[in-house]
Amino acid sequence: MRLYGIDIASRLMLGTAQYPSPDVLAEAFRRSGAGIATVSVRREAGGERAGATFWDLVRDLGVTLLPNTAGCHSAREAVTTAQMARELFDTSWIKLEVIGHADTLQPDPFGLLEAARILVEEGFNVFPYTTEDVVLADRLLSAGCEVLMPWGAPIGTGLGLTNVYGLRTLRAQFPEVPMVVDAGLGLPSQAAMAMEMGFDAVLLNTAVAKAGDPAAMAEGFARAVEAGRLAYQADPMEPRDMAAPSTPVIGKAFLT
């Protein structure tokens, strides 16, 4: 998988938040085989040095870092956050989140597009966290985004793909654009489904971090992503309503 000119070996992307401990986080990443880790920037107190500790931890994971603008509710806020993240993580990659609704954490399509335009202009490689809206997707691509990250379901819900029709339409409209289903996945089967539909990768965090055994769940997702990708490449059969015997009818013993 190639994203903004970088080859990424794994189609599973993993968040770094909410793990019970740094050791569990590291073990989950090891078993997931994830090639990309999402990170954030947050306030630090004088003398705290928590940032340096976390920086050492994620650097040791040996994965590509994708900073986010989580929690931003305006284009201005997201742009400033992206600029701070670029300096801190030394990368032009940014997972752009501009949230428009408190209960669903749905992206604000207007603020998202505005921020994407500014950041592309400033040389960022923007990964917009978006909905399945094809018009918005088209505008984001026109603004210079080369990857799209449509939501599966609202962040942290674990509901899976709540609008399969919308996601299928989005996938079909832009077959050449790398797309990552981001947010809302709770189970490996849901990740497999996204991959079977032809999405290029999935990004999750809560489903792994909040599982009873995060490392085992990470490996479960890794296998599901691989299985789903293989199925997509294998060109699945067409479903049908009526039964069709799989065992040959000819040659059956005549016993009545």
Partner 1 sequence: MKIIVNGTATEVRSETLATVLAELGYGDAKVATAVNEGFVPAAARDVALAPGDRVEIVAPRQGG
| 95 has catalytic annotation | yes
The answer to whether the annotation marks 206 as part of a ligand binding site is yes
In this structure, the number of other CB atoms found within 10 A of the CB of residue 195 comes to 25
The size of the interface with partner 1 (CB under 8 A), counted in residues, is 39
User: Contacts with partner 1 in 224-253 (CB under 8 A)?
Assistant: none
84 binds partner 1 (CB under 8 A): yes
62 binds partner 1 (CB under 8 A): no
197 binds partner 1 (CB under 8 A): no
Q: What are phi and psi of 109, to 5 degrees?
A: -60, -35
70 binds partner 1 (CB under 8 A): yes
Those residues whose C-beta lies under 8 Å from the C-beta of residue 69, and which sit 6 or more positions away, are 77, 78, 81, 82, 85, 94, 95, 96, 97, 98, 115
167, 181 in Cβ contact below 8 A?
yes
Alpha-carbon distance of 165 to 32, in angstroms, equals 29
Instruction: Write the binding mask 89 to 128 for partner 1: x where contact by CB under 8 A, - elsewhere.
Output: x---------------------------------------
- Which residues is 6 bridged to in the sheet? 3
In this structure, the number of other CB atoms found within 10 A of the CB of residue 228 comes to 24
Of the candidate residues 1, 26, 73, 76, the single one contacting partner 1 (CB under 8 A) = 76
Tell the smallest beta-carbon distance from residue 144 to partner 1 (Å): 20
The answer to whether the annotation marks 184 as part of a ligand binding site is yes
163 binds partner 1 (CB under 8 A): no
Tokens encoding 49 = 């040095």
42 binds partner 1 (CB under 8 A): yes
Would you say 3 or 185 has its CB closer to partner 1?
Answer: 185
Those residues whose C-beta lies under 8 Å from the C-beta of residue 30, and which sit 6 or more positions away, are 215
Annotated active-site residue in 11, 86, 95, 171: 95
Tell the smallest beta-carbon distance from residue 184 to partner 1 (Å): 11
Pairing state of beta strands 6-7 and 2-3?
A: antiparallel
Alpha-carbon distance of 240 to 219, in angstroms, equals 33
Binding site for partner 1 (CB under 8 A): 15-19, 38-52, 54-55, 58, 67-68, 70, 76-77, 80, 83-85, 87-89, 155, 183, 205-206
Q: Catalytic residues, which ones?
A: 95
Binding site, residues?
156, 183-184, 205-206
